[in-house]
Every structure is written in structure tokens, then in C-alpha cells.
């Protein structure tokens, strides 16, 4: 798919082109929102709002080549909004129960290990390795200096390798 | 290429399929995208409005046999609000502030009948009964998927930002009655047409709509111009609204993004308390909002919602409280239900609760607890039942504060075999830190 051409069509109000772009990036939308929310129900809410916000705002996106970065930022914002808008008084018993169906994505071993990382490290792994976002774009999306992104990425990779080794060690024993 | 790189490459090339609930929501959202035409010519608008009005009228008078069956179980309009609503919706139902509806959505297998609606400027509450043509118990998951596939439009336009929640209970084997609560991100007009779009009912997917007029039940609003700063946080109060179903405080919160992030990560929770002029702590429904960060400072417009008041108070006291969560596992406290009363339970520094009354039916246990402490709603909400195997059972609804005695709370546990041994369980907790520098006394003139 020629992303830039599709973005230009979508900017002119072509709903089909916008739909094709969203389908192209739906796995990315889910990966990012799940790394923040860890619940399929909440992810669906955040992604829905992100799609609607993106549809409203795509006419104002100047550079089609930054569509992916722009969409990443929107879904991250909406995921944080879901957290903020949720009822703040969480019954304590809900904390001890686990959501079975929220783990649909966690069937892959690597994703399971990535999920164990703290959120800031999880996000950099997903953005850099899974979504191939350049470091400079990541700094924009994460609203932090480039150096911080590099440090986080180094820490995340080290931590991930450690967790994978532990995981394998556990299986062998 | 290292082992890690190889595994990442493999995971990227073989992505797991999206969960069905997420992919179907994406598809629905794309199917429902609004037109982005900036200008519409007036003849089309007039025709469209006339058609919508006609559909609304048809929708409001049509009463099918299935729907009639559903509504036959509801004796008085507004009674669903009183029966299954939260304390604010009960208030609206009991005071006759809800408007009756006669609109339904039907599929060959099920029907969804809307019973009543109330919009008080703060929240829109919509009561409904969902029925199956065949007998079958409605599960929480099925009701959850109804809400997942639900979209609302006001005067034909999609609502940009809103939150939905649902509460209800089974009426009989094949009927479930509930209330959908919608908190809009912006205020709605005084009169509007509400369109409900349902994408999933029972196990059928499709697109069904119902439309009806909604009139705002006027409440009292007071603009506020008070601001306070404590440490790195600033709160500026904007408005208090006394609605039929809630009391809302709208304010702007400024805090360092690092603090805001701590809350998002679940390590802390900035919550809010509201007291009336008798010193009575009002039940908090929710709080939330949104904003943006600049130079490390997060500025967000927030609304905190509390139970409604039936008469205007002389003043209110509003204060933020901060919960900080540690990494240590909670210390549980449990005592058997063995017929002996009272049952005291220590909740640590937060205080204690005492079970003073127990009612057992065959499949239901209702307990009454006297709460002693600084955080009564959280304390009462932190009581649950545990069976001999350690399985937890939470209350069917949030703890209900009894009007006769403000320290007494009632909790009902459904589908419990009351012949088995059950334990009443709680945890030791720390009270939240009151941010006294951000406490406001709001005079109501």
C-alpha cells in the first residue's frame, strides 16, 4: 500500500482510503493501547476514540509521511484518557481478580515477556522494534529528549534479554 | 542477528490475530464514520430534519408485543431508576424526574425496550429492559457486549467524547433490566434527539437504531472563581452544578506531568471528597477529564461527580485526597459467618467495620456493616465474601449507605449457596492523604 497516497486521499475526505489506513495499522493501534491499558475492553474504547479523532483531524495533517507517528500519538493519548475517565474508585476485590479474556494477545511468548516490562520500557520496545519508528519520531511521540529514548531503549533491551533468559531457564528446570 | 532480534522478527512476521472484540469495534467505527462534508445546503437539512422527526414520532409511538411484554414487568415509569439505579438515579426516579420512553429495538431472537431517560446537565441515564424470545439467562458478558456495540448520536451527530457505564440486574430468567449512564465530554443542548445505535444484541450482529427526544431537567449551576495551590498542584474551581442525578464540580487541575503519569500508571490516585453543610460526606460517583502537557506541566479540565442533593446547601467543602499504592501485598482480614454477631473486622489505619446484621436466603446473603473510619465508602466497598476454597464473591452492587444511620452500609451477595461456610473478608488499608492546602469552602448564593 502506498501510505502517502492513501493519506492524501483520506485528507480529501475519502472514507475508504481512511479505512484502509486504519486496517493497515490496526495491529499497531492494538499493540500500543494494550501496552498501556492491558484490557481488551479498554483498548477497544481507546482505539475507537483514536479512529474518530484521527478522522476528524486528518485534514489538518500537513505531512503524509508522518501519519504513523501522528496516529501513534493519538492512540497513546486516548489510552491515557481511558485511564483518566474510568471510575477512580476501584473496588478492592477487582484488583485481586484476573481478567481471563484480556489475555487474548498474550498467547505469544515474546509478547508475554514484553508485558512484564515497566510501561515506559514496554512502549519503547513496541515503538522501536515492532513499529519501526525512528528514534527522533519516538522522542516526539513520547515527549522526551532523544537521549532519554536511547537510554530507555538500552535499558528495555537489556531487561528484555534478562527476562527471556529467566523464562528459558524456568522452562528447562 | 541476536536471538532477541530473531524472536522480534518472527513475532512481527507472525502477529497474533486481533481479539474479536477489538477488531469488530474497529470495523463498526469505520462503518459509522460521519460524513466530512463541511457545508450542507439548507433544503437537504430541512428534509433530513423532517425525516428524522417522522422517524422519531414513529419510534416513540410504536409498541410491539415483545416490548409490551418487557414493559409489563415494570409497574410505574421511573421505577427501574429506583430499582437498579445508583443513588442519584434512584433520586430522579423517586422524584418523577425521568421521562417515559416507548421505543424499542428488535431482532428475531431478542428485544431491547427503552423505559425512561433523564438528562440533568451532568449525566444522561437511560433505563432499559432486554428480553429473549426463548428462555435463557443473560450473562454479564452478554450485557457487556451490548454496551461495547452501542453508539449514541445527539441531533444526528456523533458524540465526540463521552464515557459509558452500565448497571442492572436480572428481572427473571430471560429479562435483564439496566441503566446506561453516559457522561458527555461537553454539555448537551436543552432539547435534543437522542439516537441509540446498537451493533450487537444477544448473539446477533447488525445495526439497529432507536430515536427519541430528550429534554434537560434543569438544575442549578453556579460559576466559581476560586483557585488554590499546594506544592506543585493548583486547582481552579469553575462550576458547581446541582443536577437531579448528581452534583458536579468542574475544575482545572495543573500538576507536573510526572505526578500525572504516576496516577496513570496506577501507583497513585488523586480522588476528591465533597461534604455538604451538615458535614455529610457525599458518595463519589467518578472523576476524570482530559488535557495536555506543556513544559512538563499537565493542565486538565476535570469533573468530579457526587451524589445529588435535594435542597441547595449553604455551602460545600471540596477537597482532593491522594491514595498512594505500595508494592506490598494487602493484608487480608477474614472471619467466618457462623451465626454469631457482631463480627468486627480491623481495617488497619483506615478504621474498622462491624457486621451487625446478616440475612440469608437460599442463594443470597445480605450484610449490614457499621463503618468506623475516615473513608467510609472505600471501607464499605472493601468487604467481600470468601468461600472455604478461597474463592471471592463481590457484592452485586456497590455498598448502599442507609438513610436511617449514615454509618451503616448494606451489601448484597447474589448466587451464593448460603448453606456453605462463608467468610466475610476485608483488608488493612491506609487512609488517603488529605491535600488540605487545596481544600475549598464553596459558598452557595
pLDDT of residue B103: 84
The predicted-structure confidence for B59-93, as pLDDT tens digits, reads as follows 333 334 444 444 444 444 557 888 888 888 988 88
Q: Please report residues of B whose CB lies closer than 8 A to that of A22.
A: 26, 30
Calpha distance B398→B396 (Å, rounded): 7
Residues 6+ apart with CB under 8 A from B273: B281, B284, B318, B319, B320, B321, B434
- Nearest chain A residue to B380 by CA distance is A91
- Nearest chain A residue to B16 by CA distance is A105
Alpha-carbon distances, residue A46 vs A39, A116, A120, B56, B119 (angstroms): 11, 22, 18, 31, 25
Residue whose C-alpha cell is 520500557: A121
Closest-CA residue to A92 (of B395, B336, B19, B43) = B395
Q: Is A153's pLDDT higher than 70?
A: yes
Q: Please report residues of A whose CB lies closer than 8 A to that of B284.
A: 88-89
Q: Do B33 and A15 touch (CB under 8 A)?
A: yes
Closest-CA residue to B266 (of A95, A163, A165, A136) = A95
Calpha distance A41→A52 (Å, rounded): 17
- Antiparallel, parallel or unpaired: β B204-215 and B247-256: unpaired
Calpha distance B358→A160 (Å, rounded): 51
Residue A61 falls in which region: left (phi positive, over 0), alpha (psi -120 to 50) or beta: beta
Of B284, B287, B394, which is closest to A91 when you measure between CB atoms? B394
- Nearest chain B residue to A35 by CA distance is B265
Residue B253 near residue B290 (C-beta atoms within 8 A)? no
Tell me which of B43-52, B296-305, B429-438 is least confident. Answer: B43-52
pLDDT of residue B121: 87
Q: Give helix A40-57 / helix A67-85 axis angle, nearest 10°.
A: 130
Q: Do A92 and B381 touch (CB under 8 A)?
A: yes
Residue B398 near residue B438 (C-beta atoms within 8 A)? no
Residue A166 near residue A158 (C-beta atoms within 8 A)? no
DSSP B417: -
Find the Cα–Cα–Cα–Cα dihedral B356, B361, B363, B368, rounded to 10°: -20
Look at residue B11 and give its three-state secondary structure. helix
Of B25, B286, B287, which is closest to A48 when you measure between CB atoms? B25
- Nearest chain B residue to A157 by CA distance is B4
Closest-CA residue to A41 (of A105, A117, A92) = A105
pLDDT of residue A168: 58
Calpha distance B208→B105 (Å, rounded): 6
Q: Do B26 and A92 touch (CB under 8 A)?
A: no
The C-alpha of A138 sits at a distance from chain B's nearest C-alpha, in angstroms, of: 17
Q: Please report residues of A whose CB lies closer than 8 A to that of B287.
A: 88
Calpha distance B81→B92 (Å, rounded): 7
Alpha-carbon distances, residue B346 vs A91, B215, B379 (angstroms): 18, 48, 10
Q: Is B110's pLDDT higher than 70?
A: yes
Residues 373-392 of B with CB under 8 A from A: 377-378, 381-382, 384, 392
The C-alpha of B385 sits at a distance from chain A's nearest C-alpha, in angstroms, of: 10
pLDDT of residue A85: 65
Q: What's the mean pLDDT in B113-119?
A: 91
**CB contact B289 to A (< 8 Å):** yes
Calpha distance B156→A148 (Å, rounded): 46
CB–CB contacts below 8 A, A to B? 132
Q: Do A26 and B18 touch (CB under 8 A)?
A: yes
Task: State the DSSP H helix or E strand holding residue B163, giving kind and residue range, or none if neither.
Answer: strand B162-172
Q: Do B26 and A129 touch (CB under 8 A)?
A: no
Q: What's the mean pLDDT in B350-379?
A: 88
Work out the mean pLDDT of chain A and round it to a whole number.
77
> What number is the ipTM of this complex?
0.77
The C-alpha of A84 sits at a distance from chain B's nearest C-alpha, in angstroms, of: 5
Widest distance between CA atoms in chain A: 59
The C-alpha of B377 sits at a distance from chain A's nearest C-alpha, in angstroms, of: 9
Q: Which of A2-16, B74-88, B212-226 has the highest mean pLDDT?
A: B212-226
Calpha distance A53→A49 (Å, rounded): 6
Which sign, positive or negative, has the C-alpha torsion A109, A113, A119, A123?
A: negative
C-alpha cell at A172: 528447562
The C-alpha of A165 sits at a distance from chain B's nearest C-alpha, in angstroms, of: 10
Q: Please report residues of A whose CB lies closer than 8 A to that of B303.
A: none
Work out the mean pLDDT of chain B and round it to a whole number.
80
Q: Do B22 and A30 touch (CB under 8 A)?
A: yes
Q: Is A128's pLDDT higher than 70?
A: yes
Q: Going edge to edge, which strands form the sheet with B157-158?
A: B157-158, B150-154, B191-201, B204-215
Q: Which of A130-134, B204-208, B235-239 has the highest mean pLDDT?
A: B235-239
**CB contact B222 to A (< 8 Å):** no
DSSP B77: T
B423 forms beta bridges with B336, B386
- Nearest chain B residue to A59 by CA distance is B36
Amino acid at each position: 500500500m502506498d501510505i502517502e497516497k492513501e493519506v492524501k486521499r483520506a485528507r480529501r475526505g475519502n472514507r475508504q482510503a481512511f479505512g484502509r489506513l486504519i486496517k493497515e495499522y490496526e495491529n499497531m493501534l492494538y499493540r500500543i493501547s494494550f501496552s498501556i491499558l492491558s484490557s481488551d475492553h479498554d483498548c477497544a474504547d481507546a482505539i475507537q476514540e483514536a479512529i474518530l479523532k484521527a478522522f476528524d483531524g486528518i485534514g489538518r495533517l500537513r505531512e503524509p509521511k508522518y501519519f504513523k507517528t501522528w496516529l501513534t500519538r493519538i492512540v497513546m493519548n486516548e489510552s491515557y484518557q481511558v485511564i483518566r475517565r474510568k471510575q477512580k474508585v476501584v473496588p478492592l476485590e477487582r484488583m485481586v481478580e484476573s481478567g481471563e479474556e484480556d489475555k487474548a494477545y498474550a498467547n505469544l511468548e515474546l509478547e508475554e515477556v514484553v508485558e512484564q516490562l515497566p510501561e515506559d520500557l514496554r512502549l519503547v520496545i513496541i515503538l522501536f522494534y515492532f513499529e519501526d519508528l525512528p528514534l527522533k519520531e519516538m522522542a516526539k511521540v513520547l515527549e522526551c529528549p532523544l537521549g532519554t529514548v536511547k537510554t530507555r531503549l538500552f535499558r528495555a533491551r537489556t531487561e528484555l534479554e534478562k527476562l527471556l533468559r529467566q523464562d528459558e531457564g524456568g522452562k528447562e528446570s | 542477528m541476536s536471538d532477541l532480534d530473531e524472536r522480534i522478527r518472527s513475532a512481527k512476521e507472525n502477529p497474533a490475530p486481533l481479539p474479536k472484540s477489538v477488531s469488530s469495534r474497529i470495523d463498526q467505527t469505520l462503518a459509522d464514520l460521519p460524513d466530512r462534508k463541511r457545508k450542507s445546503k439548507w433544503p437537504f437539512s430541512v428534509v433530513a430534519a423532517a425525516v428524522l422527526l417522522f422517524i422519531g414520532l414513529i419510534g416513540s409511538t410504536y409498541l410491539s408485543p415483545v416490548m409490551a411484554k418487557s414493559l409489563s414487568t415494570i409497574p410505574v415509569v421511573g421505577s427501574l431508576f429506583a430499582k437498579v439505579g445508583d443513588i442519584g438515579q434512584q433520586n430522579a426516579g423517586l422524584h418523577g424526574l425521568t421521562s417515559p420512553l416507548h421505543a424499542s429495538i428488535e431482532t428475531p431472537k431478542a428485544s431491547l425496550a427503552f423505559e425512561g431517560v433523564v438528562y440533568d446537565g451532568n449525566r444522561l441515564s437511560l433505563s432499559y429492559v432486554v428480553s429473549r424470545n426463548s428462555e435463557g439467562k443473560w450473562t454479564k458478558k452478554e450485557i457487556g457486549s451490548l454496551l461495547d456495540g452501542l453508539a449514541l448520536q445527539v441531533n444526528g451527530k456523533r458524540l465526540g467524547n463521552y464515557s459509558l457505564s452500565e448497571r442492572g440486574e436480572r428481572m427473571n430468567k430471560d429479562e435483564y433490566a439496566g441503566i446506561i449512564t453516559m457522561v458527555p465530554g461537553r454539555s448537551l443542548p436543552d432539547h435534543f434527539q437522542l439516537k441509540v445505535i446498537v451493533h450487537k444484541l444477544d448473539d446477533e450482529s447488525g445495526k439497529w437504531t432507536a430515536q427519541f427526544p430528550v429534554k434537560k431537567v434543569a438544575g442549578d449551576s453556579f460559576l466559581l472563581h476560586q483557585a488554590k495551590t499546594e506544592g506543585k498542584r493548583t486547582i481552579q474551581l469553575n462550576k458547581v452544578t446541582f443536577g437531579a442525578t448528581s452534583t458536579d464540580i468542574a475544575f482545572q487541575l495543573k500538576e507536573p506531568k510526572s505526578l500525572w503519569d504516576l496516577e496513570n500508571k496506577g501507583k497513585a490516585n488523586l480522588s476528591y471528597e465533597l461534604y455538604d453543610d451538615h458535614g455529610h460526606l457525599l458518595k463519589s460517583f467518578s472523576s476524570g477529564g482530559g488535557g495536555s502537557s506543556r513544559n512538563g506541566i499537565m493542565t486538565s479540565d476535570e469533573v468530579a461527580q457526587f451524589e445529588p442533593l435535594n435542597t441547595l446547601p449553604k455551602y460545600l467543602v471540596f477537597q482532593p485526597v491522594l491514595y498512594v499504592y505500595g508494592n506490598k501485598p494487602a493484608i487480608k482480614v477474614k472471619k467466618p459467618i457462623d451465626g454469631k454477631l457482631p463480627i468486627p473486622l480491623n481495617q488497619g489505619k483506615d478504621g474498622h467495620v462491624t457486621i451487625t446484621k446478616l440475612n440469608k436466603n437460599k442463594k443470597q446473603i445480605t450484610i449490614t456493616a457499621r463503618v468506623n473510619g475516615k473513608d467510609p465508602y472505600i471501607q464499605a466497598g472493601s468487604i467481600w465474601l470468601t468461600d472455604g476454597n478461597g474463592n471471592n464473591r463481590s457484592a452485586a452492587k456497590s455498598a448502599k449507605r442507609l438513610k436511617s444511620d449514615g454509618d451503616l452500609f448494606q451489601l448484597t451477595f447474589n448466587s451464593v449457596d448460603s448453606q456453605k461456610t462463608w467468610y466475610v473478608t476485608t483488608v488493612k488499608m491506609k487512609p488517603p492523604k488529605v491535600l488540605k492546602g487545596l481544600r475549598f469552602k464553596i459558598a452557595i448564593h
